[in-house]
Structure formats: C-alpha cells, structure tokens
Amino acid sequence: MYEHLKNELDYIIENKQIKTVFQPIISLRDGSILGHEALSRITCNSLIENTEVLFNTAAHHNKLWELELLCRTTALEAAYKFMIPPYSKKLFLNVNPNIIHDEQYIKGFTKSFLSEYNIKSENVIFEITERNAIKDLDLFIITIKHYKNQDYKIAIDDAGAGYSGLNLISDVNPHYLKLDMKLIQGIDTDNLKYALVKGMVEFSKASNTSLIAEGIETYEELEMLIDLGVHYGQGYYIQKPNAAISDIDTGVLNAVKRINQKKNNMNNNVISNIYIKHLCTSSYVVNPDEKVSEIYEIFKLNPNMSGLCVVKNELPVGIITQEKLAFKLSGQYGYTLYQNKPISDIMDKTFLAVDYKTSVSEVSKLSMARPNHKLYDFIVVTEDEKYFGIVTIKDLLQKTTEIEISAAKHQNPLSGLPGNLLIEQRLTQCCSGMDNYTIAYIDIDNFKAYNDCYGFEKGDMVIKLLSNLLRDNFAEEQFVGHIGGDDFVVILNKSVNESYFDDVIKKFEYEVLNFYNETDIRNGFITTINRHGNIEKLPLISLTCVITNNTGKIFNNIFDLTEHLAEMKKAAKQNKYR
C-alpha cells in the first residue's frame, strides 16, 4: 500500500520538508517541566497524511535511516535554536528500535556530536515505541546497555498499546515508561483503565521506573492520574505541541498544585509532609574515575560509613556501599582483578534518588518498594537533579516511626482530622500576619439531644458525615480541623463571607436526615426527656457557622481570636433559637 508514496517520501527527505515541534512533559507533583518530546511534522503538501504513514513508508522502502537522520538533526537544531543553551531539561527523541543499533546511528550520538548543540547525553531520552516489532531482540538489548553506559536514558513509548509490552519492559528496564493515551483518556470514568494504571504505578515503585501519562486532555483525567501517583504527564490539557518553547499556563500549574494540595490534605497530617531534606546528611563523594583501591582505603579508614555517592559534574551517577564493595573484592582474585579499575566500572547505577522536597512518607514508600537486595542501600537526595546529600535507611525508619506516633497523637481518632495542637499552630500563623485568611468555626446544633435519643454509634456517624463533607469541600483550599465533640474549624487562605459555606451547610442538613427515623423527619423534631424529667421537643440537627477574617478585627494572639469566635458562635445560636 506504500508503493505509490515513494516519490512523496523521496521529496520530503531530499528537500528536508520536516520541522520539529515540542510538547512539554511536566511533573504531576508540582508542575515543573521535566523536558520536551520532539515531534516531527511534515511541512509540505503531500499524499503522506501524517508522520506514522511517513515512517511506515520509509520502512517499506528501506529509507528509515535517512528519515531518522533528518528528523534527529532537525530536532537537535530546533532544540538549540529555541531553548536557552545549554539545554538542561530532558529531550525525548522517538527512535525506531530497528535503527537504534545501526552503526551510523550510534556514531550519530557521540558526546562530541551532542556538544555542538550544548546538550549532554544524560539529558537525551530515546523513546522506543512498543508498536514496532523488534527483529533482533538480543542485539537490541546489547545496544540499549551500550546507550545506558553512555549515560543516555531510555523510555518505552505507548506502553499498553502493544501485546508484548511486558516482555519488552522487563528486557529493557527503562528509565521512563510512557502510558499510551488510550489508557489515559477517560480514565476518570473507566474502572478497567483505572485498575491497569494503578497496577503500573505499583510496578513503577518496584522497578524504580518513572511513569509518564500521554494524552491528558481533561482536568478530570489529570486529577485521577495525580491521585493514582503517576509521576509525569503530557497532553493537550497541559500544552499543545508547538515550534516555540513557552512556559506552562498558570491555570494548569494552579490545577496541579490544587489537586496535589487536596490529595496531601486528605489525611490532613501536616507532620507527614516533612521534606526529606531535613533528614539529609552531606556525605563524602567521589568521582567516577577514582580507582577501586582508593575507595577501598576510604572504607577501611571509615568502617561506620554506609557508602559513597559517585558524582560527576555535580550530578549523582552511581553509589557504592561498603558491603557490596567488600563482596566484589572477596575471593582469591577479587582485589587483584578490580583494584586498578575506576569505581564507575562496579558502582550501582540504578540507585534511588529523590528530590529534596519529597516528603519523608513518600520516600519511605519508594525505598520499601525496592528489590530485596537494595532495601538497605542509602538514598541519594538531589536539588535540581544535582547532588544534595544522602539519607540512610536507619534515619528514614526512625523519622517514619516518629511521624506515625505524632500522627496518632495529634489527629482526632474519630474523624482522622488534625486535633487541637495542629489547629493552634494554624491559628497562630493567622495571628502572626498571614496575608489573607478566613477562619470558620462550625458547630452541630442539637447534637447532644440526638446522641441521647439515637445513641453514640449513630452520633459518631453524624460526626463522620460532617468531617467528610468539610474535608471534601475545603481541604483542597487549606485546612480542616476537629476541635473535639461536634466542633470543627476551617481555615482558608483567602477572605470570604459566611455565604461561602452555605452549600456545605445545606448538604449536611439534607444528608443528616438519613440518620433519623421517618416519624422524626415528618414531625420536624425529636422528643426527649430533659434533665428535670420532663418531655421536651427539640429541633432536628443543623449547623451553626461563624467566621472571621483579616478584613475585620486584627488579633494579636490566639487567645483573643478563639474567645472572639466562641462569642460569635454563642450569639449566633441565641439568634437562631430565639
């Protein structure tokens, strides 16, 4: 079917009718740009409809090498032209797996060649698509190892679109795994897609592979992917491909931050958001060219040292632990064999590295997901990908235990929301000059009467109903706390009035009717016996909400603030039942 397109193909290649457009790949944690995928586009009118047909035609007529060369050169020239050199982000280049081991291709990616474009090999990622059948798998795997040894990174593209994808992923052990857009589109409404991507997230933890979701087109898809823990994303919702490089739209960045804030606040455990940098120690580092014998001597002089990080141009490139070095040098000829070799020959290049602003709890999950033989390796901490320090497993476990104890101590056991200590900390921040804030004091009316009539178990269900509604509606914006009993506080980082809370009040007062019997709902009150032994009719449960913010009275300390809120709540209740 591609016979009649040969002339079209020849014209495109000979006249260089290809341009490069870039689509950003961003972190789904903070919106920062990981890098850009270089995409080729045909610039002339042609019977060849798109690049997929173009490459299929080239494969049919044995012109893949010529087309790949044109696309690669155009991409590197565009990267140099449109991006401020030296290019410090990741540049994702699509490559056919049957071309990547060609001698000409390998020669075309020497470090000296890349230096002409001010691009480092560690910033080049080869995207290998699942859809292309690999003719010689053994040769392909050898080639991949060659590129990895040259500090290039590997990404498997269109994961989930092929039938032999899992075998390919296992054989290649890529740095990045790009989830096919068909898996991503509609993931917020498709349980099967959700389950598949969730499984890939668990796989990524075990394999230390970063996931990139392709084809994100809606806010809902973005929200679901962040909730699942996918690392990176690209797609039209984030930014369409363009010949020029531009910043990510602030609306998209705010959406990413807002969704993450909501996710992190689901447990409202402020302590668990301690950054790993607070556990970090600055360890002795070595360069890749240092001899094994020299590293051995360092360990002999420092028997308590867990290991060393190998750093090149400020970037961590490997680790070596004392235990694994000793094992490598053991045996009759171990030391003789390795003593004069550079440490880069035996260092571990597949180590766990995390950004210094990663939470302790997240690092704990990542470290425990490693294979058994790596569980006790130290963790490398980076800042802007540069070496920052290390964290030992001992320090990590100690801090994680502290966090769990603190969480149990400072959270309300019924609602799971922060208790009084954390509430006081937030209120103190408001008093100390926070730019914009609103503090809402929310109380359940007639809760004691309901408890007396329906019992504590039903009463606990009412408390949980309100805590869940407040969490779902306001945790995204700032802070929800449980003072105790039927009292709650919401602290927003903006100024609003009481009507802002009307919707959640109406929703609570509607849904709480599910916890009454039909007679009480029909009557509109419950009948109970008061402390004097008399029968008394009391209204059904409702909510009282009072607020204060920085546009009104200024408070110098937390005592004045809480006293003011208590007075407002008392006055509001008196007016309601007067």
pLDDT of residue 309: 95
Say if residues 123 and 88 touch (Cβ distance below 8 Å). yes
Task: Round to whole Å and give the CA distance between 146 and 54.
Answer: 29
Determine the Cα–Cα distance for residues 482 and 464; give it in Å rounded to an integer: 11
Q: What is the DSSP letter of 333?
A: S
Are 482 and 424 contacting, i.e. CB atoms less than 8 angstroms apart? no
Q: What is the CA radius of gyration of the chain?
A: 30
Rounded Cα–Cα distance for residues 561 and 428 (Å): 9
Q: How far is CA 246 from the centre of its chain?
A: 22
CA distance 403 to 361: 8
CA distances, 120 to each of 85, 90, 242, 405, 503 (Å):
11, 9, 23, 45, 54
DSSP state of 540: P
| Helix-then-strand count for the chain, H and E | 22, 20
How many Å apart are CA 18 and CA 78, to the nearest integer? 11
Task: Kindly provide the residue ranges of all beta strands, DSSP E only, lying in 31-78, ordered along the sequence.
Answer: 33-42
The length of the chain, given as a count of residues:
578
pLDDT tens-digit readout, 373-421? 888 999 999 998 899 999 999 888 887 777 666 666 677 888 888 888 7
Roughly what angle, to the nearest 10 degrees, separates helices 137-149 and 165-172?
A: 40
My answer on whether omega of the bond before 86 falls inside 30° of 0, hence cis, is: yes
Per-residue tokens: 370? 């490693």
Report how far apart, in Å, the C-alpha atoms of 85 and of each of 69, 72, 89, 93, 244 are.
22, 18, 10, 18, 14
For the purposes of burial, counting CB atoms within 10 Å of the CB of 201, is it exposed (0-12), middle (13-18) or buried (19 or more)?
Answer: middle
> Rounded CA gap, 246 and 436, in Å?
31
Alpha carbons 558 and 552: distance in angstroms, whole number = 16
The pTM score is 0.54
- At 148, list the tokens: 């990895």
Tens of pLDDT, residue by residue, the chain (578 residues): 667 788 888 888 889 898 999 999 999 988 989 999 999 998 899 888 888 888 888 878 888 888 888 888 888 888 887 665 555 688 998 887 777 777 767 666 666 777 777 788 888 898 887 555 677 777 888 888 888 888 889 998 877 555 446 777 877 888 999 998 999 999 988 888 888 998 898 888 777 788 999 999 999 999 999 988 899 999 999 999 998 888 899 999 999 988 877 665 444 444 445 788 878 887 889 999 999 999 999 998 888 888 999 999 999 999 999 989 998 888 888 888 899 999 999 999 999 999 988 888 888 888 988 888 888 999 999 998 899 999 999 888 887 777 666 666 677 888 888 888 788 878 887 876 656 788 999 999 999 889 888 888 899 999 999 998 998 887 555 789 999 899 999 998 888 888 899 999 999 999 999 999 999 999 999 887 777 777 888 899 999 999 998 776 677 778 888 888 888 888 888 887 66
What pLDDT is attached to residue 378? 94
